[in-house]
Amino acid sequence: MKEKMKEKMKAKMKEKVKEKDYLVRINNLKKYFQINKNTYLKAVDDVSLEIYKGETLGLVGESGCGKSTIGRTILGMYEATGGSVEFNGVKVFGMKASSTKEFKRKAQMIFQDPYASLNPRMLVSNIIAEGIDIHQLLKGKERTDRIYELLELVGLNKEHANRFPHEFSGGQRQRIGIARALAVNPEFIVCDEPISALDVSVQAQVVNLLQELQKQYGLTYLFIAHDLSMVRYISDRVAVMYLGAVMELADSNDLYEKPLHPYTKALLSAIPIPDPDIQKGRQRIILEGDVPSPINPPDGCKFVDRCSYAEEICKTKRPELLEVNPGHSVACHIWKDIKD
Ligand X SMILES: Nc1ncnc2c1ncn2[C@@H]1O[C@H](COP(=O)(O)OP(=O)(O)OP(=O)(O)O)[C@@H](O)[C@H]1O
Residue of minimal CB distance from Mg ion?
Answer: 68
Q: Is 68 a residue that touches ligand X (CB under 6 A)?
A: yes
Closer CB to ligand X, 132 or 239, in the complex: 239
N residues, the chain? 340
Applying CB under 5 A, the span of 63-71, 275-283, 299-307, 327-335 interacting with Mg ion comes to: 63-71
Q: What is the 3-state secondary structure (H, E, C) of 139-161?
A: CHHHHHHHHHHHHHHCCCCHHHH
The number of residues that bind Mg ion (CB under 5 A) is 1
Closer CB to ligand X, 155 or 292, in the complex: 292
Applying CB under 6 A, the span of 7-15, 98-106, 194-202, 297-305 interacting with ligand SF4 comes to: 297-305
Alpha-carbon distance of 104 to 122, in angstroms, equals 22
**E-assigned strand segments in the chain:** 22-36, 39-52, 56-60, 82-87, 90-91, 107-110, 188-192, 220-225, 237-242, 245-251, 322-325, 328-330
Q: Is 304 a residue that touches ligand SF4 (CB under 6 A)?
A: yes
> According to CB under 6 A, which residues from 255 to 274 bind ligand X?
none
The partner in contact with residue 109, picked from ligand SF4, ligand X, Mg ion, none with C-beta cut-offs of 5 to 8 angstroms by kind, is: none
Q: Is 63 a residue that touches ligand X (CB under 6 A)?
A: yes
Q: Is 333 a residue that touches ligand SF4 (CB under 6 A)?
A: yes
Shortest distance (Å) from residue 66 CB to ligand SF4: 17
Q: Is 309 a residue that touches ligand SF4 (CB under 6 A)?
A: yes
Q: Looking at 24, 47, 65, 153, which residue binds ligand X (CB under 6 A)?
A: 65
Three-class secondary structure of residue 308 per DSSP: coil
Q: Is 33 a residue that touches ligand X (CB under 6 A)?
A: yes
Q: Is 68 a residue that touches Mg ion (CB under 5 A)?
A: yes
- DSSP 8-state class, residue 123: -
Strand 245-251 and strand 107-110: the pairing is: unpaired
Alpha-carbon distance of 290 to 305, in angstroms, equals 9
Alpha-carbon distance of 178 to 48, in angstroms, equals 27
Alpha-carbon distance of 235 to 230, in angstroms, equals 9
Shortest distance (Å) from residue 197 CB to Mg ion: 11
Residue of 66, 27, 33 lying closest to 48 (CA atoms): 27
Shortest distance (Å) from residue 227 CB to ligand X: 10
Residues that bind ligand X (CB under 6 A): 33, 41, 43, 61, 63-69, 226, 294
Residues that bind ligand SF4 (CB under 6 A): 262, 301, 303-304, 307, 309-310, 314, 319, 332-334
